[in-house]
Amino acid sequence: MPRRCVVGGCSNIPDGRGRISVHRFPKAKRMRKIWINFVNNTRSDFACTDNSVICSNHFTEECFDPSFAVKLQFGLDSRGRTLLDGEYPSIKCKAEPEDKVSLKTNAPSNSITDNARQ
């Protein structure tokens, strides 16, 4: 079963094409705490477990092993990026997905006014 990103407002799972990957919390206490603090800033009910993961959307490009981009380019490995040691998440959830915007009603305004009284 794919793991979901624990960051508030996000629930990404790996897309299987290497664009979204998920990353487990580091074992080292100090780093782990930074990760947990980050998640706590986005949601208050978070409790870290061994299954908790954060997706690649919350990391800057510099956090990842640069060889991934090369591998992807040559089709060698598209399973996901490798996070470099000592890196931590810093990007909160991105803007609302666009499909929510399209729910806005856009009714034409001139459909009722053509019953002129005589």
Binding site for Zn ion (CB under 5 A): 5, 7, 10, 12, 55, 57
CB of 117 to Zn ion, least distance (A): 58
Nearer to Zn ion, 10 or 83 (CB): 10
Nearer to Zn ion, 70 or 90 (CB): 90
| Residue among 25, 20, 1 at smallest CA distance from 79 | 20
Ramachandran area for residue 15 (φ above 0: left; ψ -120 to 50: alpha; else beta): alpha
Cβ contacts of 66 within 8 Å, gap of 6 or more: none
Helix spans in 1-118 (H): 29-40, 67-73
Nearer to Zn ion, 46 or 107 (CB): 46
Cβ contacts of 17 within 8 Å, gap of 6 or more: 78
Nearer to Zn ion, 52 or 57 (CB): 57
CB of 5 to Zn ion, least distance (A): 3
CB of 42 to Zn ion, least distance (A): 9
CB of 4 to Zn ion, least distance (A): 8
The answer to whether 7 and 56 have CB atoms below 8 angstroms apart is no
